[in-house]
Structure 1
Amino acid sequence: MPTTKTWAVHLLTASGAAFALLAALAVARGAWVETFLWLGAALFVDGVDGPLARGFRVGERVPWFDGAILDMVIDYTTYVFIPALILARSDLMPPMLAAPAGILVAVIGALYFADTRMKTREYGFRGFPAVWNMVVFVLMVFAPPPVFSVIVIVALAVLTFSPVEFVHPVRVKRLRPLTLTVTLAWSIFSLLSVLAELKPNQLVLAGLGLTTVYLTIIGAVLQATRFRLPRRS
């Protein structure tokens, strides 16, 4: 039977749509710090609504309301569409490439969200998991040469439908304490970067870079070691 807590969880998930709209309005003004503040708020909501939904068993209490579909709608908007909009409107790459890059992200991200094979047996992700919000944020902070941004976007778009695995920081059990710690560190470095108006000091840059590298490659490392583990007799 539905309860106030059940609907509160669904409302919390739906609040991501409000953050997405606020982020889009900030993009229109070129207010990048504000944009990432709203996307950060949406990312926080996405990190807590799943455990709350499982804890309160919202799927059992309101079986006719699909929270998973709601979550995917919000995720596509905040993880893919708004970052694509940032690519199209920012100066990460030349104007002639900005809109095509945004379109590439928007289309590839949409296709990925419809792929029923995206989750692995360990609850990681098969292929790059369309976390374009994190990718675009890191690129904005580091502000690399435009050609590097183009290479990163194209490479991750290709990896989206590859067999290479990427970690889910919460659900993958192997190295979970370490991965959760690195994820927390990434969040702290990201917040410090936003507070520094996307121009953090070298220490924060180093921390953000190292944690980004770990979260990017650890899934493939775990995948490789799983295949190399000897079978028990």
Structure 2
Amino acid sequence: MSHPKGKASHRYRAFAVHVFTASGATIAFLALTAAIEQKMGLAFAWLGLALLVDGIDGTFARAWAVQKYAPQLSGDVLDLVVDYVTYVFVPAVILLMSGLYPHWLLALQGAIIVLSAALYFASNTMKTNDYWFRGFPAVWNLVVFLILVFQPPAIATTIAVILLALAQASNFTFVHPVRVKMLRPLTLTLLGVWVVAAVIAIIEDMKVDPITQWVLGLIAVYFLALGLLRRENP
């Protein structure tokens, strides 16, 4: 028979994983305050930390049997709530506060982002059986990051936002950079390079040198192109 103290420690540990996941919301709040203060590099640094939490909390949840020992909370729902805030809502506010374009246009772009992504997050078919995303996976944090890095003309940004919003409801596939097996070694290598370039951009407070711009842009194109390769070779 299991010792009661052992069971209690399992429950506390499992609940701690939920708290760890929920900490992403706190990190998002800190990113939001930085955006309001127009400290965009700091805002993305916080969002980068939120990405790290999102990337490792599932490992803890599986290792410590969270569903078994803390079933009163849904890790899936909690993860979706935090992801919406960090991937969508805060990035939309960062875009709004960036001042890149007229305020009304930034507000319109942000409204398109938060509305379309809310519908995407409600989808129950967002992933394929081989771990690709079906439709643009609402990584608006990365989109807004690239917008601030490249600062394209207003019309280009608006068109990109509209097309990506529509792509969330499409059958186009987008790569999961870790779980998809196709070209995984190359994908993981380029992901690492992209992260380094992103850190440089954050340190430079989004005032990025041309080489870093090229690295960020070309690798982003690679990730988009992978979905087209999969469609040609299902």
Same-fold call, TM cutoff 0.5: yes
Say whether 1:135 aligns with 2:143: yes
| Cross-structure match for 2:26 | 18
Q: What's the TM-score, normalizing by structure 2?
A: 0.91
| Cross-structure match for 1:157 | 165
Name the CA distance, whole Å, in 1 between partners of 2:182 and 2:63: 22
Q: Which has the higher relative contact order, 1 or 2, with Cα contacts under 8 A spaced 6 or more apart?
A: 2
| Cross-structure match for 1:169 | 177
What CA deviation, in whole Å up to 9, does each residue of 1:116-143 have, x standing for no partner?
Answer: 0111111111000000000000110111
Structure 1 residues 51, 181: closer, same or farther in 2, change over 3 A?
farther
| Cross-structure match for 1:27 | 35
Structure 2 counterpart of 1:45, from 39, 42, 53: 53
CA shift for structure 1 position 38? 0.8
| Cross-structure match for 1:115 | 123
Name the CA distance, whole Å, in 1 between partners of 2:116 and 2:40: 23
Paired AA for residue 44 in structure 1: L
Structure 1 segments, 4+ long, off by >4 Å, are none
Name the CA distance, whole Å, in 2 between partners of 1:31 and 1:81: 17
Tell me whether 198-207 or 20-29 shows the greater mean CA deviation: 198-207
CA contact (8 A) 1:93 1:150 kept: no
| Structure 1: gaps spanning 5 or more residues | 227-233
| Cross-structure match for 1:230 | none
Q: What's the TM-score, normalizing by structure 1?
A: 0.91
Structure 2 counterpart of 1:56, from 41, 57, 64: 64
Q: Give the share of equivalent positions with the same residue, in percent.
A: 44
What CA deviation, in whole Å up to 9, does each residue of 1:194-231 have, x standing for no partner?
Answer: 111112222211111111111222123223212xxxxx
- Provide the aligned length of Structure 1 versus Structure 2: 226
CA shift for structure 1 position 68? 1.0
Paired AA for residue 163 in structure 1: N
| Structure 2: gaps spanning 5 or more residues | 1-6
Paired AA for residue 47 in structure 2: L
CA contact (8 A) 1:183 1:215 kept: no
